[in-house]
Structure 1
Amino acid sequence: MVTGSIEKAQRKVEGRNFDVRKQLLEYDNVASDQRKVIYQQRNDILEAEDVSEIITAIRNDVIGDVVTQYIPAQSFPEQWDLPGLEQAFETDFGLQVPISEWVKQDVNLMDDAIRERAQQIAADFYGKKCEGSEQIMRQVEKQIMLQVLDNLWKDHLASMDHLRQGINLRAYAQKDPKQEFKRESFELFRMLLDNIKAEVVRVLFHVRIASREEIEEMEEQRRREQENLQLQHAQSSALQGEESAVDNAPQKAATTPFVRSNEKVGRNDPCPCGSGKKYKQCHGSLA
């Protein structure tokens, strides 16, 4: 009877451990599917010689999303937040988009037309930024895309770990933790892709390629700062050497042994004053 109880308890424990491993495997499968998508995008960027077409598509998507955020689809003009949209374009991308003037000039202007005009202004602004440095910008575009992708992917993995740690609490609300994990992880992944696009466009619109004259000026300034640093180091070393010499001088004087000019008088010897008393009973008592 005891053996049977032990076997039943062992089967329950093994079954629970199996369910835990199965659940972890299903969570890992969700992260694995997302990892395949991200790694495929990364490989496409590395293998591509020119990512300008990808940048153009991403830029149009981001500008369109910003317009949709402040001008919802199928909404009335009274519901539009035109000052907020203009501020968003200026803050995030450094663009001056006079949308309020467009609407005043054409009261029948729709959100699609506003989106197309904003995308054209963004394209013209970025084209002027790339003038004279197209080859350099192609390299910068690849580097920025890879850097943004890697950084945001690492943040996404941390968010997935936090989600996994607390997903079992959904069971208290009579919800399946596995289904909730798949739903919320999908939402996090969708936000990741949107954030990658927005961050790439934001960085590219704020990046500035220095001219050859500016590079030479920065090199000259760096060379002068290096020379000044070396000069200050040499002066500091010389000053420390002088202070060390001054500090050592009294130490040498203090370590010189004292030499008596006369012979030392013992306590029981006659006092040198000629009184006839012992030194300890005469002037020695005063010492």
Structure 2
Amino acid sequence: MNKQRNAVYEKRNHALFGERLSLDIDNAFSIVAESLASSFKEQEDFEGFKLACIVNFGMDTSITQDDFKSLDAGKLADKLYTEAIQSYTNHVDSIGKKAIPVFKDIRASQGSHIENVVVPFTDGRKAINVLAPLDKTVETNGQALTSSMEKSITLAVIDEAWKDHLRSMDDLKQSVQTAYLEQKDPLVIYKVEAFQLFNNMTTNLNKDIIAFLTQANLPDQQQQNNQIKEGRQEKTDLSKLSANKDQIDAAGNDYAANENDYFDPSAPPVKQEPIRVGPKIGRNDPCPCGSGKSTNNATEKAANKISQSLQNFGGIF
């Protein structure tokens, strides 16, 4: 678990701080292209290969059936990777060009105080809000927006995949506990199955990131003015957390009405009085009730009364 966590958080930090994010995305394109080429080439399924290109890369590949049959898996993967990267570059440029007029309109209509803008990106199934700097997006001709899009989408997909993987690991931990009944080592089985789960998770993670990035789009032209709006970092209003005496009294009668009942930090600490324990009463000592009888006789007398009452009630003791 620690090794897996380090690997995932290293990839997450690349997206969070912008380091190596572009390289990670490029590697993901290469891994997905190689996976599609090898699997469908082995099955000799050209139609499935074309459909997988649409699902994973959001494009209708120009690779013909003759190319699919003549090229080996390695060359087919290289050609698919080059085509997918070019298609994604054009897609990103298109997003930037579409966003620039909207960002300029926000600046002109809503004033110069706006620093960030929230842009909802969707792949047709789910949406992710992206916080982009307004001025920098305009200055870089949309590049700042697409960089924020890559960062936000990558982080969201990684977090979702990691949470699902942790649940799968918990289920695996529970399922391998009965392996000793088959004279197998539960720890060995856990390590093998955990490694396979992690490989599947990383494979699906790369596919999900690439699929979302290549199919992410801005809202429709009619919805942009309503959905693209100012983005602010929420801050806690500490003034709403304070309460005076009148507010407390109005909320309920559980608080004292006197100001002296409230905690005063300047008041001296109250000295705690020691707990005083009375003298221990022996078994045959006089009863403290004042009857003059010993505690043993008083106890026996009380027990006899209780027994007699229970017998009168009809109980069997």
Q: Say which SS state the counterpart of residue 158 (structure 1) adopts.
A: helix
What is residue 268 of structure 2 aligned with on the other side? none
Q: Say which SS state the counterpart of residue 59 (structure 2) adopts.
A: coil
What is residue 198 of structure 1 aligned with on the other side? 207
Quote how far apart the aligned CAs of 1:112 are: 2.1
More helix by share: 1
Cα separation, 2, equivalents of 1:220 and 1:174: 63
Cα-to-partner distance string for 1:193-220 (whole Å, 9 max, x where unaligned): 1111111001001101459xx37x6326
Cα separation, 2, equivalents of 1:45 and 1:190: 20
Moved more, 82-91 or 202-211: 202-211
Q: Say which SS state the counterpart of residue 172 (structure 2) adopts.
A: helix
Larger Rg: 1
- Aligned counterpart in structure 2 of residue 70 of structure 1, from 36, 40, 60: 40
User: Normalization by structure 1: what TM-score?
Assistant: 0.57
- Aligned counterpart in structure 1 of residue 56 of structure 2, from 92, 98, 108: 92
- Aligned counterpart in structure 2 of residue 125 of structure 1, from 87, 111, 126: 87
Cα separation, 1, equivalents of 2:33 and 2:86: 13
Cα separation, 2, equivalents of 1:221 and 1:162: 40
Cα separation, 1, equivalents of 2:32 and 2:6: 24
What is residue 26 of structure 2 aligned with on the other side? 56
- Aligned counterpart in structure 2 of residue 40 of structure 1, from 10, 13, 20: 10
Cα separation, 2, equivalents of 1:197 and 1:153: 13
**Please, which runs of 5 or more residues in structure 2 have no aligned partner?**
97-141, 229-317
Cα separation, 2, equivalents of 1:195 and 1:108: 28
User: How many residue pairs were aligned?
Assistant: 182
**Please, which runs of 5 or more residues in structure 1 have no aligned partner?**
1-30, 73-78, 223-287
Q: Say which SS state the counterpart of residue 61 (structure 2) adopts.
A: coil
Cα-to-partner distance string for 1:119-149 (whole Å, 9 max, x where unaligned): 1110111010111432211111111111111
Cα-to-partner distance string for 1:153-191 (whole Å, 9 max, x where unaligned): 000110111111111222232211011001111111111
Distance 1:50 1:84, change over 3 A: same
- Aligned counterpart in structure 2 of residue 154 of structure 1, from 151, 163, 171: 163
Cα separation, 2, equivalents of 1:89 and 1:55: 17
Code of the aligned partner of 1:128 = N
What is residue 219 of structure 1 aligned with on the other side? 225
Cα separation, 2, equivalents of 1:195 and 1:70: 17
Code of the aligned partner of 1:92 = N
Cα-to-partner distance string for 1:18-77 (whole Å, 9 max, x where unaligned): xxxxxxxxxxxxx223222222222232222572222111111111111111113xxxxx
Cα separation, 2, equivalents of 1:165 and 1:40: 28
Are the equivalent residues in 2 in contact too, given 1:83–1:100 (CA < 8 A)? no
Cα separation, 2, equivalents of 1:221 and 1:161: 39
Q: Say which SS state the counterpart of residue 95 (structure 1) adopts.
A: coil
Quote how far apart the aligned CAs of 1:93 are: 2.5
Code of the aligned partner of 2:71 = L
User: Normalization by structure 2: what TM-score?
Assistant: 0.52
Root-mean-square deviation (CA), in Å? 2.6
